Amino acid sequence: MPQLRPALIAVALTLAIATPAQATAGPALTIENGRTQPVFSYADAIREHVYVESTVDSDLDGKLDKVRVDIIRPKESGPGLKVPVIIDESPYYDNSGRGNEGERKVYDAAGNVAKFPLFYDNYFVPRGYAVLNVDMLGTTRSEGCPDIGGKADVLGGKAVIDWLNGRAKAYKADGAPAVADWTTGNAAMIGKSYDGTLANAVAATGVEGLKTIVPISAISSWYKYQRSNGVIYNYDYASWLANYVDTDPEAKCKPVRDKMDAEDGDDTGNYNPFWAERDYIKGLLGDASKVKASVFVIHTVNDLNVKPDNFSAWWKALADRDVPRKIWVGQTQHVDPFDFEGRRGLWVDTLHRWFDRWLHGVDNGIMREPRADVEVGPAKWITQRDWPAPFAMKATLRPAPDGSLGLKPAAKDSTASFTDVAMSETAMVADVGTPNPGRVAFTTGALPLDLRLSGTPTADLRVKLDKPTSNLTALLVDFGEDTRVDWRRGQGITTLTEEDCHGESTAADDACYKKVVTNVATRPLEIVARGWIDVQNRSSLSQAAPLPVGTYGTVKWLTLPQDYIFKKGHRIGLVIAGTDSTYSGETGTGAGVTVDLAQSSVVVPFALTTPLADVPRDKARFHGPDRIELPESESAFQFF
């Protein structure tokens, strides 16, 4: 029998005091080795549903919208044994489904869910948790209209937390009041994509009772999801998505969708009140300063659906406020950590320990472990104390008129020119040694050692235009044959036929899922980092300011973040172009763009991957144990 730490003894005493012998028959919460144990029957669990009254009327029918909440909890839970709650709120339970296998809710004859998507119910209910699958307002069996990140989305989820803590009303199917007398009120929200976005949104309200969130590939700013510094990715996207997830007849919520189209600012690409309402970092409904929950972020640097600036900006805002947090950073595309090759068991156990720590109060040491797990190659992971790499140093790479990229500024009055036309990324990076009227390209020589980019590069250009504005694209490219994660194919994974199981099963709901492997491909180059801006938004996202024709101006912006190793012998490339048709629906302005090379650069955060002892003495000048300087040439950078 392992020894109990003081915190575990306190948990045991609390449960003993709060659970009189006559109140609950059967097992009680059991903790061993810092983990809750599966002592409750999954087959015998209570399955029920309620309708929580929100504070919004999103469909404008004169009644407050009710949120459908499907619940599974241990049979023993009740006033005598209260359990915490894990919530996955989603708009996808009856359309695209959840998880790699697209699972949907399956209902029994009484209208309760017999099959809950994903493994959360199978694994955590036996360990003393309730699991709630919540239909976002306007979807599946909830009332209202989808609000695509706005007020109804946010306050619908918040109402569920309020109900769990006695601050909101709920009703059973027959209209009788429903009271959550079986829960401690301690709640977690988890989910991928839109589900994780709802977790971010509700946490940003500062609602009491939400103890932790686990946002996976989640949006923190809908502007960042559909815009980059004034460049529009998709037109009328919010109304399209609202229609996709809505379960009602199309006409019911058409006025709501029309209002979205009228307010989204597609005519300018500017940040406006529509996007401020849908901004959880610093927005109208909530922001990072209000977050009271701990946060376990999971995202991938090649997610070009929910682009990684959504997690990096959120992560920085949380770090600035010292929010308790943890992070996993992968290299596939829009993929759940349950489907990271070779890490499924580790993910389940890590999530288990995280929830035990923040919902049951188990002191299991997870907050004393390295904060960040980072994938640095196909299915190759490292741990470090934070992300980005804490000791990354910024290198300023400068383009030259001969097409080189190095440390020295180009000569005064050196320029390069191109025209803003819509061009695919494939075309932008093809034949970089050959002139192309739609782009300019610069490359280093062969790298003398591996360099790891960890963080967010900054493009800093001085340009003049022959029209009032232009879109600009900056691409950081790795030129060199290598086998890399093929995140373009199947989101970066292939699903196998073999399954493994995590949790308990019933005939209606099994805990087994197909394994996956990481897709890889050998290619001569990889676009590592991307960044876009509309020049007229160079000073403000909310107020356009055309650049006077023929006048130079500074255009400085962040690319998407990355974590990537440039291998020894490879070359780093910088490509500057106009409209990126791979990710933007815009057509390009046709503007002629002149770049002042002497005052333009890209700043890249590099971390050293080679031990200092392995750096050739004839290739470097050493400045103590934590900094070296390579010669200033096109193939060398100052770092550490």
Catalytic residues: 193, 303, 334
Q: How far apart are CA 93 and CA 202, in angstroms?
A: 19
Query: For residue 570, what are the contacts with CB-CB under 8 A and spacing of at least 6?
Result: 446, 447, 478, 479, 480, 482
- The position carrying tokens 């503007």 is 591
Q: How far apart are CA 286 and CA 326, in angstroms?
A: 21
Query: For residue 435, what are the contacts with CB-CB under 8 A and spacing of at least 6?
Result: none
Amino acid identity of 300?
Answer: T
DSSP secondary structure letters along 81-99:
B-EEEEEEEES-TTTT-BT
Q: How far apart are CA 335 and CA 300, in angstroms?
A: 8
Q: Which residues of 564-590 are buried (b: 16+ CB within 10 A; e: fewer)?
A: bbbeeebbbbbbbbbbbbbbbebebbe
- The position carrying tokens 């990271």 is 340
Q: Which residues of 23-57 are buried (b: 16+ CB within 10 A; e: fewer)?
A: ebeebebebeebbbebebebeebbbbbbbbbbebe
Q: For the CA atoms of 226, 289, 209, 62, what is the dihedral angle to 10 degrees?
A: -50
Q: For the CA atoms of 330, 271, 147, 71, what is the dihedral angle to 10 degrees?
A: 30
Cα-only R_g, the chain: 26
The separation between CA 273 and the C-alpha centre of its own chain, rounded to angstroms, equals: 23
Q: How far apart are CA 457 and CA 558, in angstroms?
A: 6
The separation between CA 107 and the C-alpha centre of its own chain, rounded to angstroms, equals: 31
| Token representation of residue 150 | 């706005």
Pick from 414, 383, 385: which is nearest to 398 by CA? 414
According to DSSP, the β-strands at 380-384 and 372-377 are: antiparallel
* Contact status, residue 127 vs residue 352, Cβ threshold 8 Å: yes
Q: How far apart are CA 525 and CA 453, in angstroms?
A: 16
Q: How far apart are CA 314 and CA 492, in angstroms?
A: 24
Q: How far apart are CA 415 and CA 408, in angstroms?
A: 15
Residue 167 Rama label (left phi>0; alpha psi -120 to 50; beta): alpha
